[in-house]
Amino acid sequence: MIVVLMGVSGSGKTKIGCALAASLGWPFYDADDLHPPANVAKMSAGSPLTDDDRWPWLDRIVDELARAGANGGNAVLACSALRQVYRDRLARAGDVRFVYLKGDLETIAARLAVRSHKYMPASLLPSQFATLEAPADALVIDIRADVAAKIAAIRAGLKLAAADIE
């Protein structure tokens, strides 16, 4: 199984993804690490990505996840996956389950105001919310819960009990 934690920047994808992967003993991947340099430069300059920018990046993610999922392997991925077509593309990697870390603009903007990202400026948050298509088929997790509660809710929602992963 590949668990994709999705949502806008600042929703906690990396933090929750690392914690979930550790709790399961699965590898963790951050889609941000797979962006080509041109995408990073564009975002660093405060320009949102276009679909033409995203397709090669999404294909690279699918390739990485397919390798991780080969022979029954599991993985956790942090990826914005804001539009359904992006999620459809990611689903090509195999047994993919989406977890939507849902929060409102005010809560997430406050989080971004006190953190720095290697290239994603807080000024791009409104464009992420404008692009976001809330998924109809994802497990929805409220970002205001604490980390332990989110991990427990994800594991319960995806039926990842301890006995299932040992």
- pLDDT tens digits, one per residue of 119-133: 555 666 788 888 899
Report the pLDDT value the prediction gives residue 142, as an integer from 0 to 100: 96
Whether the full predicted model's pTM is greater than 0.85, yes or no, is: yes
pLDDT tens digits, 99-110: 999 999 889 888
- Phi, psi at 163, each rounded to 5°: -65, -25
Which pLDDT band, with edges at 50, 70 and 90, does 163 fall under?
very low
Tell me: the pLDDT tens digits for 38-60?
998 888 887 878 899 989 999 99
Q: Tokens standing for 27?
A: 């590898």
Residues 6+ apart with CB under 8 A from 139: 97, 98, 99, 100, 153, 154, 157, 158
pLDDT band per the 50, 70, 90 thresholds, residue 164: very low
